[in-house]
Structure 1
Amino acid sequence: MGIYKKIKKLIGGIIFYMANKFNGPYVNALMTHANGMNFLVSPFDMAVGRHLRWRGKYGTEELNLIKKVITNDMECLFVGTHIGAIALPVSFWAKHSSLIEANPDTFCFLQANVRLNCINNVSLYNFAAGESDGEINFIKNIKNSGGSKREPVNKMKFYYDDGGEVIKVPLKKLDDVFPSLYFDFIFMDIEGSEYFALKGMQRIISQASYLVVEFVPHHLKYVSGVSVEELLLLLEHRFMFLFIPSTSTFCEREAFSTVLGEMYRNNQADDGIIFSVEKPNFI
């Protein structure tokens, strides 16, 4: 671990301790006003929760891009909704959203935030999206609850350093959960489980217009244990275009493997690369 990461980890540990010390042992949520809405967040979350508490916003660039493609007649699917910092603002622009969150603790925050903002056009589901039906081991993080994930194929130590426990959560194929529902827009942020979820939602993918998905090379390598090419095999039959927000890179299907392969080799991540059937209106 580099010196910068060691210092960052040390500071994070001090902040976590101070939050636990001064908020009181019986405080398990704080109310924030962020992204134009109210959110209950964990006082111990040093990632999304800290952004919302200290900056009053989260995912601004992602939301600005999403707003350009969402219309009020769209059905949306969010896989890995977390507490709703992205999904709930989008719900005001869309017809309906189905929100999936695997972490049972985070799911309680999501339920509360839906009620807190009087949102009535969403449906909530507490399970992990995957390639089959059953259950999986799931790492339930504390300091970065958004980093909670299915237990990796390659169990690298740094995935377990957050202090959270490994629990069992239900696993379901999305094609079985939504056998006839059509989604125009899909947003997926599930910390390396994207490959498995996509395997279980090929019918849904075949009808989607947009897919926004996190791209993190070490997630592909260690959590799912697959290559860029294996991931693309689940997508290329549907999508024609790809946009990489972090580098403003735009390409067509023929270059998907080249562009993402280079990102993988350079260990370059992006919070949400955007696949689309038609050329996006923001290009």
Structure 2
Amino acid sequence: MKSLYWRMVFFLKTRKSRKVRKSLGTNIRAIITQSSNGLFAVDPEDLEVGEKLRKGGFGLDEIERIKSLISDDSRVLIVGSHIGSLVIPISRHCKEIVAIEANPKTYELLSLNLRMNNIENVVSHNIAASEKTEIITFFLNTVNSGGSKRAPKQSHFMYEYDSPERVEIQAHALDTHLSNHAFDLVLMDIEGSEFFALKGMPKILQECKSLIVEFLPHHLRNVAGVDAETFLKQIPERFTKVTIPSQNVTLSREEAQAFLLKMFRDQKGDDGLIFHIE
């Protein structure tokens, strides 16, 4: 019954997205909108981040959490930058951002949005983060372009309901690709590829002060093909505290381990666990 409900939800979203595209015409690449995040070019078919920006703002609570972890001197790495809805407002509160975005279509919008907002302290890279240098198959979703991802190990209708285009893209281990960089904060939201990215950046993780990373059980199981325990082993023990915003708790690393394993079993996720040093 639950599966049927979500299939219907995704069907209706896809239909709405295609109606928007049809009404605007096939030549419209983006709509310009002013939001609390800044001035943005958004894909009219995107009913998630794009629609929220058109209606006023996206991720404003998360932006405030991030701001509390940085200063004007901070260097920030954002892996999964999408069209810049977090990158642009955060760039005004730190020294430098390195922005990683795998999706070539959203990368075009990210580049445009950086220029429209006169952002000069962001260096962007159109690559995927992985455990090694490789070519990966990538899904380009349209209804939720932020949900675009590397081809899952286990297929599921929630990743393919809008018949995403599949492309081959370049991926790199970030320790190698960004070998001359050090960061105070790493923020990662890459739709299930977090496990692979973490394996490719142990040096970066040993040097940063805080790590924010998405934790979604279905992504771990289906996209990465790992369980929560295997995933958490990729995060250095030097991070002794974990904040779980969705549960409004901050725990010791040991307490968080048990808490997150239970969340995984219960199919509960969090858009951005915060690992920090006491």
Matches within 5 A, 1:165-180: 165-180=165-180
| Whole-angstrom distance in 1 between the partners of 2:207 and 2:215 | 22
Aligned to 2:38: 37
- The alpha-carbon deviation at position 104 of structure 1 amounts to 0.3
**Pairwise CA distance, 1:6:** 4.1
* Whole-angstrom distance in 2 between the partners of 1:57 and 1:116: 17
1:228 aligns with 2:222: no
* CA-CA distance at 1:7 after TM superposition: 4.2
C-alpha separation in 2, matches of 1:49 and 1:156: 24
**After the TM superposition, which residues 51-62 of structure 1 pair with which residues of structure 2 at under 5 Å, given as runs?**
51-54=52-55, 56-62=56-62
Q: Partner residue of 1:71?
A: 71
TM-score after normalising by structure 2: 0.96
> CA–CA distance in 2 between the matches of 1:66 and 1:38?
20
1:121 match: 121
Distance, in Å, in 2 between the alignment partners of 1:152 and 1:36 is 31
Deviates more, 1:63-72 or 1:187-196: 63-72
Tell me by how many angstroms 1:221 deviates: 0.7
2: CA distance, partners of 1:136 / 1:10: 28
* Equivalent residues of 2:140, 2:164 under 8 A apart: yes
Distance apart, 1:70 and its partner CA: 1.3
Determine helix, strand or coil for the equivalent of 2:73.
coil
Secondary structure class of the residue paired with 1:69: coil
The answer to whether 1:209 aligns with 2:216 is no
Structure 1: gaps of 5 or more residues:
279-283
Alpha-carbon distance in structure 1 between the residues aligned to 2:6 and 2:157: 15
Cα distance between partner residues in 2 of 1:35 and 1:265 = 36
How far apart, in 1, do the equivalents of 2:76 and 2:46 lie?
A: 27
Question: Could you report, residue by residue, the CA deviation over 1:91-115 in whole angstroms, capped at 9, with x for unpaired residues?
Answer: 0000000000000000000000000
Q: Write out the 4+ residue segments of structure 1 that deviate beyond 4 Å after TM superposition.
A: none
CA deviation digits over 1:156-213, x for unaligned, max 9? 3432222211110001010001113110001100000001000000000000111111
Partner Cα separation in structure 2 for residue 195 and residue 13 of structure 1: 29
Structure 1, residues 18-44: CA drift from partner, whole Å, max 9, x if none?
Answer: 211221221110011112410000000
Contact 1:236 1:253 in 2 (8 A): no
Which residue of structure 2 aligns with residue 281 of structure 1? Answer: none
Check whether the contact 1:205–1:238 (CA below 8 A) recurs between aligned residues: no
- Alpha-carbon offset, residue 142 of structure 1: 1.0
Contact kept? 2:96, 2:121, Cα under 8 Å: yes
Contact preservation (8 Å) 1:175, 1:203: yes
SS at match of 1:206: helix
Paired amino acid for 2:151: E
Structure 2 unmatched runs, 5+:
none
Query: Which AA in structure 1 matches 2:14?
Result: G
Which residue in the other structure is 1:133 paired with? 133
Matches within 5 A, 1:127-276: 127-276=127-276
The answer as to whether partners of 2:37 and 2:58 remain within 8 angstroms in 1 is no
The alignment covers a number of residue pairs equal to 277
TM-score by length of structure 1 reads: 0.94
Cα distance in structure 1, aligned partners of 2:171 and 2:18: 34
Give 1:58 deviation, angstroms.
Answer: 0.3
Q: CA RMSD in A?
A: 1.3
The CA deviation string for residues 32-69 of structure 1, in whole angstroms up to 9 with x for no partner, is 11124100000001111111112x10001101111112
Alpha-carbon separation, structure 2, partners of 1:17 and 1:180: 44
How many Å apart are 1:10 and its aligned residue?
3.8
Task: Give secondary structure in 1 for the equivalent of 2:123.
Answer: strand
